[in-house]
Amino acid sequence: MRLKAFGGLAAAAMMAAGCGGGPAGGGGKISDDKIVLAVLNDQSAIYADLSGRNSVEAVKMAVADFKAKYGDKAAAKEIEVVAADHQNKPDVANTKAQELYDRQLADVILDVPTSSAALAVAGVAKTKKKIFIDVGAATTELEGKQCNKYTFHYGYNSYMLANGTGTAVTKGGAKNWYIVYPDYAFGQDMNKTFGAAIQAAGGKVVKSDPAPFPNDNFSTFLLKAPGLDPKPQVLGTMQAGGDLVNLVKQYNEYKLRDKGVSLAAGLMFLTDIHSLGPDAMAGTQFTDSWYWNNDATNRAWADKFQAKTGKRPTSVHASNYSAALQYLEAVQRGGTDKSDDVVKQLEGHKVDDVYSRNGTIRAADHLLLHDVYLAEVKPKSEVKEPWDYEKIVKTIPAAEAFQPQPSPDCKL
């Protein structure tokens, strides 16, 4: 899939950008007078709804807004958006990333849900010395042992999710947990971070079990839960997308709530609630990095998104918009798309846009710190319009939401 967005530039403006008098006074220039933004994600399987093709639309919206803001003063003569499907497989992600950088001349790769795939792309970005802004993966390894100069982690991570949901639910009285997690990098990281958060809040993980990924049958784990000793008060599911939908359907079929085992979701998106119906998860708390109906600014952007896609945006869609826009703004400030210069423009930058509130891209590990939200799923009786499924319980400030200090394992 290749999607193009063109911006008209005056020849004089382009000459200035290439001769040291660029849009922000930088001394660089735009290679081939064109910027290529690549969206690499799942466009056909379990993460397609929460991100997928609609993340491509979100990136196109960012391009349109950037062009509208700068017009003939934009740094690039042409902006192109390309996309590829990594099928949630790290080997496919590796191959696709190389193709995007080498053959399609991508200046930046965006999104990449599935942590194992994201780590593969981060390795390619490091080798190619090309920018990668991950939006859809949760693993803290992206800002930990596997961090690198050209990779940025944008949106959410497993620490933030655990620090929000794990802490809140445990302090709310659910001390004993049974965790079921997908057996790959994301799930393993979620199991680790949730376990630490639960213990710090005074709780205990009675047992944690890895489940195949992807998976459509969780009966083994669900039947086990009520019989564990001590009996868990909450089942913590670390699945996401289609896997989460399957697990929740089966959780309700086995009536675990009636058996005294409540449900907590480590990672959940608006599209998951929409697929299940709000009553399937009514009262379930989870941490969200953005919600479309949280304020007038978000809703206005969500209205534009819905006009294009027919759906309300998830936090991943909004985050992809923001990541694309901030990349373009970094190019604009520096007057060049050279990777090393763009890195300098992004490091330490304050981000305040439709997605990120009180945001800062921490220079030491390239993690975007920003306010996030503890949310609760509304029962159907409280849903006043389609897609309005979340009640924001509280805002978790940026300083509390993410790791307070960069990992000592991160060496940029």
CA distance 129 to 148: 10
Q: Is the pLDDT of residue 68 over 90?
A: yes
Q: Is residue 71 part of a domain?
A: yes
Mean pLDDT for 397-407 is: 95
- Are 63 and 37 within 8 A, CB to CB? yes
- Residue 269 is part of a domain; what is its CATH number? 3.40.50.2300
Asked if 274 and 148 sit in the same domain, the reply is: no
pLDDT in tens, 307-351: 999 999 999 999 999 999 999 999 999 999 999 999 999 999 999
What is the arrangement of strands in the sheet containing 285-288, beginning at the earlier edge strand?
Answer: 285-288, 372-377, 390-396
Residue 79 lies in a domain: yes
pLDDT of 22 > 80? The answer is: no
234-237 vs 176-182, strand pairing mode: parallel
One-letter amino acid for residue 114 of the chain: T
Nearest to 115 by CA among 238, 201, 209, 260: 238
Closest CA to 265 of 252, 276, 281: 281
pLDDT range class, residue 5, cuts 50, 70, 90: very low
- 12 falls in which pLDDT band (50, 70, 90)? very low
Average pLDDT over residues 288-298: 98
- 73 with 177, same domain? no
Average pLDDT of 386-394? 96
As to burial, measured by CB atoms within 10 angstroms (0-12 exposed, 13-18 middle, 19+ buried), residue 218 is buried
Whole-model pTM?
0.91
The answer to whether residues 184 and 208 belong to one domain is yes
* Residue 63 and residue 146 in one domain: yes
Same domain for 130 and 142: yes
Per-position DSSP letters for 15-63, written without gaps between them: HHHHTT--TTS-S---GGGEEEEEEEE-SSSTTTTTSHHHHHHHHHHHH
Tell me the pLDDT tens digit for each residue of 232-254.
999 999 999 999 999 999 999 99
The DSSP code sequence of 204-270 is EEEEEEEE-SS-S--HHHHHHGGGSSSPPSEEEE---HHHHHHHHHHHHHTTTTTTT-EEEESS--H
**Claim to verify: residue 253 and residue 203 sit in the same structural domain:** yes
In a domain, 412, yes or no: no
Same domain for 174 and 127: no
Q: Which residue has the tokens 């017009």?
A: 71
The torsion of the CA quartet 20, 26, 27, 29, rounded to 10 degrees, works out to -90
3-state secondary structure of 137: coil
pLDDT tens track for 142-168: 999 999 999 999 999 999 999 999 999
Mean pLDDT of the 176-195 span: 96
User: pLDDT by residue (tens digit) across 254-274?
Assistant: 999 999 999 999 999 999 999
The predicted structure's pLDDT at residue 351 = 97
In a domain, 228, yes or no: yes
Same domain, 254 and 327: no
Residue 270 backbone dihedrals phi, psi, to 5 degrees: -55, -40
6, pLDDT greater than 60 = no
Joined tokens for residue 120: 């593969």
Do residues 74 and 212 share a domain?
no
The overall average pLDDT reported for the chain is 92
Q: Are residues 132 and 10 in the same domain?
A: yes
Quote the tokens at residue 44. Answer: 């056909």
Cα-to-chain-centroid distance, residue 138 = 7
Q: What is the percent of the chain where pLDDT is above 70?
A: 93
**37 within a domain of the structure (yes/no):** yes
Distances (CA, A) of 386 to 54, 380, 407: 18, 10, 41
Tell me, yes or no, whether 248 and 384 share the same domain.
Answer: yes
Give the per-residue pLDDT at 28.
54
- Residue 396 has, within 13 A of its CA and on its CB side, a CA count of 25
The pLDDT value recorded for residue 32 is 84
Residue of 133, 136, 128, 122 whose CA lies nearest to 101: 128
**Contact present, 115 and 186 (Cβ < 8 Å):** yes
Q: Calculate what percentage of the chain has a pLDDT beyond 90.
A: 92
C-alpha triplet 394, 380, 198: angle, nearest 5°: 40
Total domains, the chain? 2
**17 has a pLDDT exceeding 70:** no
Mean pLDDT calculated for residue range 13-34: 51
- Clarify whether residues 149 and 174 are in a common domain: no
**pLDDT at position 19:** 35
Residues 336 and 29: beta-carbon distance below 8 Å: yes
Residue 18 lies in a domain: yes
Domain annotation covers residue 20: yes
Range of the domain at 273: 159-288+372-397
Q: How many CB atoms sit inside 10 A of residue 157's CB?
A: 29
Q: What are phi and psi of 69, to 5 degrees?
A: -70, -45
Q: Which helix (H) or strand (E) holds 181?
A: strand 176-182
Interatomic CA distance for residues 67 and 39, integer angstroms:
19
Can you tell me the distance from the alpha carbon of 173 to that of 281, in angstroms, rounded to the nearest whole number? 19
- Residue 185 falls inside a structural domain: yes
pLDDT higher than 90, residue 11: no
